[in-house]
Structure 1
Amino acid sequence: MMNLKGLSPCMYAIVCSKKTKEQWHKAVRCLHDKYNVIWPGKVRVIKYDDSVEQALPELQRLRPSYCCFVAIHSECSRSFVRSVHSVTRKIDPSNPFTDTLWGILTGQEEDDVVFAVQQVQDSLCVSRVLGGTGVNLKKFESGVWYSEGEQGVAYRKKLGSAEACKESCAPDATGDIVAELSSDRDEKNDKGVDMVITSGHATEHDWNIGYNFRSGQLIPMDGNICGLTVNGDVIPVQCRKKPKIYSACGNCLMGHISEKNCMALAWMHSANVIQMTGYIVETWFGYAGWGVHKYFINNPGMMTFAESFFANQQSLITKLHKDYPEFCDKSVGEANSVYKKCFNTKATARKEMTRECSGLLYDQDSLAFYGDPAYEARIAIKKEEWDYDISIMELDPAGLSPGWSKWELKVKTVCHGSFECPIPDDKTTSFGRPPVFVFPCSMRDFKVLEGEAVINCRFILVSVFGNYTPGKEFKVVFAVQL
């Protein structure tokens, strides 16, 4: 762990409109009080009139380590999410990366936000998972996933088992999935879930459980998540107040808050989802959504869910600027035009290059992270399942100016694999993304002294690409100043 005395002057910023501050005063106060106990005097509230960009000057002055955008659901438009992405990359204009760990805290009503903030435990140990798509269950203590490609098939890993077993389930798995979501969390008896993962066809108003076969759906009804079977039966999800996290990694539009009665808000309101990633657009590329798993699941326990979202965004930005520097400032609209045009060319090599470039641009601001960015939801640590190990140690700062500290970061692989995926929405390649170490707070200045790495005020990414074998070690020496 990287221990830094005192940490940065502003550890946590709460950014909200004046309207949200007035209408959701209790939620903002709860959030402020929670973190002011942890970081006394280092929590700030930043208010703006009608545009999140108006908060940028104050964010640049404070340079917060964490930034929580509290917003009434009617404010959480597609353009709002994209503005948050953009603003958080401009806090330090000297580089193109995200300068703070951020999240958008919202809900159908203020009590949803208060529930997310006022957890009895300050962290969530994610040990049992529910999937509507393939999940590497070896990385979890237990869980089940229902196949979206094979009707009537599920894979289950029981508590204490080493491997998952294939089993039969109902052709329409709606009832099974609703039952899993509704079960009280009981670790001893292996009931309930801590994390939900979905892919497949979806909109703001439904998720189709089967991808290439007819099955049921989950839908929002009066703001609550319900199962809708192929026979037309409606089965409400009935959850107790136990928090969950949710990765809608492969769904179109699941993260788009189009109105009060939508999927994202229903997950928060009735399924107790306190952190969530989801696309605000139709997804076709997949780097942003699926890549979160490379950090969160592949090395179980190394990163929190919020850190994994942050790390994958920096991997995306690094790849965009490294491979396509001439296009990195293009808009999403231009990315769409490039993508459509690429299918009209007969040059395969150019087609693939253009598709990847436009896909990275398309994904860059299209995945939302909802929830408190400082809340620690992480998988139960299973070092025996890690793809690589990261260690960090402080070195003698001799030769550096006063106020600087010197560090050595080592990455050592423990299995065969690749730091790059053959396709952007790859589900199986280990590790599939370059190693990232997230700093415990924001740094005022930073520099790489030895080795190949990308660094900014909030992270360091080791520039490792291609295949690797077990026991391969990479070292970077860097200096930072608080």
Structure 2
Amino acid sequence: MRMGNPKTVWFLLAMFLGISTVGIISSNATEKPNYKYAIVVKETTLKDEAWGKVVNALKEKHNAQVFTYQNEVNEVKDKLADYFPKYICFVSKPLDASREFVGEVHRLTRQLDTDPYGDSIWAILTGYDAEDALRIAKHKEPLIVKYGLGGTLAWIDRVKEGIAYFEGMNEKGRYMLKKSDSEKVEDRKDGPTDSCKPMVDLLNKNKVDAMWTSGHATEHDWMIYYPQSRSKFISSQGKLYGQDSSGNKYEIKSTNPKVYLGAGNCLIGHIADMDCMALAWIHSGGAYQFLGYTVPTGYGYMGWGTGDYFFRHNGKFSLAESFYIINQALLFNLEKGLVKEARDLYGHTQNDKDTVVLYGDPAWEARVATGKDVKVPKPIWETDIKEKEESDNKKVFELIIKFNTDVDFDPISSCRPVFAFTPSRLQEAEIIDKGDAEAIEITDNFIIVKYKGKVEKNSQKKVTFKAKVLNEDGK
């Protein structure tokens, strides 16, 4: 996979300096992207005029190659492997994007080379109708997440400003408030006894850049309070509503591009029918990327882990990259025998690896705001890969890891291994010095490292390795 992207570098620099990112995209609108992007679409979908426009918009935006199949998505495996794209967008009519299809896509994207890891950053582009998908396909401006809305308290300290409501029935009225002028988060208990209407109002004011939720959900609703609640978000025919505990119903019409993470919700990503939550969030909730489970979940590794890589690294990883990374982390833990059973504690499961989905354009840049005016904690760790001398016709690399806070790598259920994309595509990697790392994996496009137990704040770790550097054609 080819991870180098000057657009991303300039985007992050602009975020840090507080410069508008619009010009970064518009000024280069006629230039061809320097990454490989594949569109995978069913032949009958491509022949549908409305959905064909979606494919054409993506093709134009990303200078993409189109791969079609008749019946099974796996039909394109060999051609995809030859092309070996950085991104794969699976364009699908809504009812074709089934739970089974999500699983097939997960497995396909791990089969483009010989290692057991994912080979491309991917997402499924769909919508309540083709117009939804076309709107997302045409959209170019990156999203800088400044204002966050939480249906659970996690990650509110990692956004410039926002509010997160406590989901427990036992503490209604509790919420956390993050103001833009302070790194401190206010933990307050003077909030409304039903947070449904305030959340709807924030969404309808187009104020929210990212929303994340936990607690009970189905394909058709999200209960605002846990374990049971009459207050909920519900969906019907592409429309999204808030329904408070008294039965009052408020339609959500939010048009600003945003990301939604159903981090701890059962089934919310499953497109079971045209009334489901995922399609309503895309159609009327303004979700340009939507993350969710297609199956029941507890404290799932993939859902919460995606949020951790996205929010706790200060814009280093986009949402699509974070979704990709946590899946590699799960596979890494299983491949290295770090988890002894299919299920470990709070839901580190074999089941997770093929059942969480990201809807949207995988190359769309959605990142948490960073910069001098964004008062948030430092990223939990920072990485730098330095290129050194050659040895045995291989380039030598040194991964330097700086820990900005205490990090506990156990238990596995909450462990987020250190992850870094390599600056070039690699082959035949060899570890020269792993230091005190418990486990390491180096693939063609990333290095992932786990330490045992606790690593203290301000610690610095190093891993030295060598590998052959391949060009964009894999040679």
TM-score clears 0.5: yes
Q: Determine the structure 2 residue equivalent to 1:277.
A: 291
TM (norm. structure 1) is 0.83
Q: Tell me the distance in 2 between the aligned counterparts of 1:49 and 1:440.
A: 37
Q: Tell me the distance in 1 between the aligned counterparts of 2:98 and 2:138.
A: 25
Shift of 1:409: 1.8
Q: Determine the structure 1 residue equivalent to 2:183.
A: 162
Is the alpha carbon distance of 1:281 and 1:35 closer, same or farther for their aligned partners in structure 2, counting shifts above 3 Å? same
Matches within 5 A, 1:266-415: 266-323=280-337, 355=344, 359-381=348-370, 384-397=377-390, 399-400=392-393, 405-415=395-405
CA contact (8 A) 1:320 1:360 kept: no
Q: Determine the structure 1 residue equivalent to 2:29.
A: none
Shift of 1:215: 4.1
CA contact (8 A) 2:5 2:35 kept: no
Matches within 5 A, 1:23-422: 23=48, 24-36=51-63, 43-92=64-113, 94-121=114-141, 123-149=142-168, 150-165=171-186, 166-184=188-206, 192-212=207-227, 214-240=229-255, 242-323=256-337, 355=344, 359-381=348-370, 384-397=377-390, 399-400=392-393, 405-420=395-410, 422=411
Give 3-state SS (helix, strand or coil) of 1:396's partner: strand
Is the alpha carbon distance of 1:389 and 1:10 closer, same or farther for their aligned partners in structure 2, counting shifts above 3 Å? closer
CA contact (8 A) 1:207 1:219 kept: yes
Shift of 1:156: 1.1
Structure 1 position 434 matched with structure 2 position 417: yes
Paired letter, 2:239: N
CA contact (8 A) 1:151 1:213 kept: no
Provide Cα deviations, 1:169-221, integer angstroms capped at 9, x if missing partner: 2212110111111113xxxxxxx111000000100000000113534110112
Paired letter, 1:435: V
Paired letter, 2:225: G
Q: Tell me the distance in 1 between the aligned counterparts of 2:96 and 2:199.
A: 31
Provide Cα deviations, 1:133-184, integer angstroms capped at 9, x if missing partner: 1123221100101111121222111221222221422212110111111113
Provide Cα deviations, 1:335-367, integer angstroms capped at 9, x if missing partner: 6xxxxxxxxxxxxxxxxxx64598421111111
Is the alpha carbon distance of 1:317 and 1:264 closer, same or farther for their aligned partners in structure 2, counting shifts above 3 Å? same
Shift of 1:398: 5.1
Q: Tell me the distance in 1 between the aligned counterparts of 2:182 and 2:202.
A: 19
TM (norm. structure 2) is 0.85
Q: Determine the structure 1 residue equivalent to 2:17.
A: none
**What are structure 2's unaligned runs of at least 5 residues?**
7-31, 435-439
Q: Tell me the distance in 1 between the aligned counterparts of 2:122 and 2:423.
A: 14
> How many residue pairs end up in the alignment?
429
Q: Determine the structure 2 residue equivalent to 1:478.
A: 466
Q: Tell me the distance in 2 between the aligned counterparts of 1:75 and 1:363.
A: 21
Provide Cα deviations, 1:249-285, integer angstroms capped at 9, x if missing partner: 0000001000111000100111110112100000024
Q: Determine the structure 2 residue equivalent to 1:331.
A: none
Provide Cα deviations, 1:31-53, integer angstroms capped at 9, x if missing partner: 010012xxxxxx31100001111
CA contact (8 A) 2:146 2:368 kept: yes
Give 3-state SS (helix, strand or coil) of 1:203's partner: coil
Q: Tell me the distance in 2 between the aligned counterparts of 1:371 and 1:355.
A: 30
Q: Is the deviation greater in 158-167 or in 313-322?
A: 158-167
Q: Tell me the distance in 1 between the aligned counterparts of 2:242 and 2:52.
A: 34
Q: Tell me the distance in 1 between the aligned counterparts of 2:339 and 2:283.
A: 42
Superposition RMSD in Å:
2.5
Provide Cα deviations, 1:373-400, integer angstroms capped at 9, x if missing partner: 1111110126852111111222233531
Provide Cα deviations, 1:429-451, integer angstroms capped at 9, x if missing partner: xxx3111112467x362413423
Q: Tell me the distance in 2 between the aligned counterparts of 1:145 and 1:214.
A: 17
Q: Tell me the distance in 2 between the aligned counterparts of 1:325 and 1:398.
A: 35
Q: Tell me the distance in 2 between the aligned counterparts of 1:320 and 1:74.
A: 32
Provide Cα deviations, 1:62-106, integer angstroms capped at 9, x if missing partner: 1111111111111100100000000011111x2111111111111
Residue identity (%): 34
Is the alpha carbon distance of 1:287 and 1:3 closer, same or farther for their aligned partners in structure 2, counting shifts above 3 Å? closer
Is the alpha carbon distance of 1:73 and 1:302 closer, same or farther for their aligned partners in structure 2, counting shifts above 3 Å? same
Paired letter, 1:415: T
Q: Tell me the distance in 2 between the aligned counterparts of 1:256 and 1:3.
A: 33
Q: Tell me the distance in 2 between the aligned counterparts of 1:134 and 1:255.
A: 21
CA contact (8 A) 1:446 1:455 kept: no
Q: Determine the structure 2 residue equivalent to 1:39.
A: none
- Determine which of 413, 436, 442 is the counterpart of 1:455: 442
CA contact (8 A) 1:197 1:248 kept: yes
Is the alpha carbon distance of 1:56 and 1:9 closer, same or farther for their aligned partners in structure 2, counting shifts above 3 Å? farther
Provide Cα deviations, 1:100-132, integer angstroms capped at 9, x if missing partner: 1111111111111121122251x1111111000
Give 3-state SS (helix, strand or coil) of 2:101's partner: helix
